[in-house]
Amino acid sequence: MNNFNKLLTVNEVCQALSIGKTTGYKLLREKSIPSGKIGNKILVRETDLQNYINEHLNATPH
């Protein structure tokens, strides 16, 4: 059984959220979405992206 989460690139994160690269990199830089670097690639666990989405969909509007 594979216990590893799927890893997503910044481009895949941006596509999933329907946002541009600038906004995607800003979310990662601000640590709104946890990420890590392997070599020169920034990667995001699919579960971390799903948690970010769930938090923001369940948030009450200001």
Q: What is the pLDDT of residue 5?
A: 83
Residue matched to tokens 């990199």? 25
Q: How many CA atoms lie within 13 A of 57 on its CB side?
A: 7
Residue 4 in this model has a pLDDT that exceeds 80: no
State mean pLDDT over 28-41: 97
**Domains in the chain, CATH or no CATH each:** 7-57 (3.90.105)
| Residue 47 CA, distance from chain mean position | 9
Mean pLDDT of the chain: 92
State mean pLDDT over 20-37: 97
pTM (predicted TM-score): 0.84
Contact 39, 6 (CB under 8 A): no
Q: Bridge partners of 38?
A: 41
State mean pLDDT over 19-47: 97
